[in-house]
Amino acid sequence: MNVAAVNEANLADAGAFSATAQLSMRHVTKVFPGKRDIFSKLTRKTSRDFVAIENISLDIEPNTFVSIIGPSGCGKSTLLDMIAGLSATSAGEILLNDLPVRGPGPDRGMVFQNYALMPWMTVEENIRFAVETVYPKTDPKQMRRTIKEHIQLVGLTGAEKKHPHELSGGMRQRVGIARALAISPQILLMDEPFGALDALTRGFLQDEVVRIWEQQRKTVIMITHSIEEALLLSDRIVMMTRGPAARIDEILDVPFPRPRDRANLDQHPAYHDLKAKMEEHLFRETRAVEEARINA
Ligand SMILES: Nc1ncnc2c1ncn2[C@@H]1O[C@H](COP(=O)(O)OP(=O)(O)OP(=O)(O)O)[C@@H](O)[C@H]1O
Ligand SMILES: [Mg+2]
């Protein structure tokens, strides 16, 4: 679909989108342009345009915890990067409080999969740097309070003066979460935040995120490969198809009451049905990716 067609479609189905959504993706498409320059031609390394995501529409209501699952390489990070404003949509638009997203902003905090901390800065300095970048005029007293509060929130008191290389993976991820929350974003974006952690640390951090979410009730959009993690944390689970031209296959509502306890979540009558649906989806999509690879 080209941009003009998307804009026409937007006008035609404006009523199809939620009026109360905080974040609204409307016919979002992402195309990574192929290489056709002289150098690529001479070295026979030209490539075609790659449609990663095609025509995705999704409304997210305030204070909801949304997880995105889908096979590896389907376009989850691509979608989150566009929401963060780190990369532009090729067609369609993303609206935040009815205004188009044009770049990164203090209303969205991002937790990266690979921590992305400044290695030469301590825990405190990493958080300070994020707040200063977004709010350069913060009063020094307020700044100290914000840093202290967020270090406390993620359970890192005592490690303020440590550098990232002196921290475990779980501690680094905590700094990533503290840094994202310290700018007081409306929406927290997390790209596989616990992917690199061992099972026990992962469980502890999931519980921390549940606790923080109960306290702050921010809108969260989290990418995960873990079915159990999505079921424990989310209100809604978005299941993406394989790429290229990935789209949303189905959105599941997770009806478990909060606060949730991982120990008895599977007692809920809907648990096994939801889990089976997600397993079946991931199995089907991943198998299709593998088959396409073998036949290529
Ligand atoms: N800058 C880029 N240029 C060209 N293609 C890209 C670029 N970034 C991503 N892609 C392609 O877009 C597709 C989606 O990538 P993306 O990183 O969003 O997948 P993902 O769902 O996050 O995967 P994973 O679960 O492995 O993290 C992939 O085929 C990838 O090769
Ligand atoms: Mg990714």
Q: Is 48 in the pocket of ligand 1 (CB under 6 A)?
A: no
CA 190 to CA 111: how far, in whole Å? 5
Name the closest ligand to CA 69.
1
77 touches ligand 1 (CB under 6 Å): yes
3-state secondary structure at position 66: strand
Token pair, residue 256, equals 């478990």
Residue with CA at minimum distance from ligand 1 atom 1: 32
Determine if ligand 1 sits within 6 Å of the CB of residue 283.
Answer: no
**Which residue's CA is minimally distant from atom 20 of ligand 1?**
73
Render each residue's pLDDT in the chain as its tens digit; 296 residues.
454 554 455 555 555 788 899 999 999 999 999 888 898 888 888 889 999 999 999 999 999 999 999 999 999 999 999 999 999 999 999 999 999 999 999 999 999 877 789 999 999 999 999 999 989 999 999 999 999 999 998 889 999 999 999 999 889 989 999 999 999 899 999 999 988 788 888 888 898 888 888 888 899 999 999 999 999 999 999 999 999 999 999 999 999 999 888 999 999 999 999 999 999 999 999 999 889 888 87
Instruction: Give residue 80 CA to ligand 2 midpoint distance, Å.
Output: 9
Please say whether the dihedral angle defined by the alpha carbons of residues 168, 172, 174 and 178, taken in this order, is positive or negative.
Answer: positive
* Nearest atom of ligand 1 to the alpha carbon of 75: 18
Ligand 1 near 74 CB (within 6 A): yes
Q: Which ligand is nearest to the CA of 225?
A: 1
CA of 202 to the centre of ligand 2 (A): 18
Q: Which pLDDT does position 15 carry in this prediction?
A: 58
pLDDT given for residue 3 in this prediction? 46
What's the pLDDT score for residue 237? 98
Residue 118's SS3 state is: coil
111: helix, strand or coil: strand
The structure's pTM equals 0.91
In contact, 22 and 59? CB cutoff 8 Å: no
243 within ligand 1 shell (Cβ under 6 A) = yes
Where do runs of H (alpha helix) occur along 217-260?
227-233
32 CB within 6 A, ligand 1? yes
Task: Name the CA radius of gyration of the chain, rounded.
Answer: 20
Q: How far is the CA of 193 from the centre of ligand 2 (A)?
A: 11
The residue nearest atom 26 of ligand 1, judged by CA position, is 72
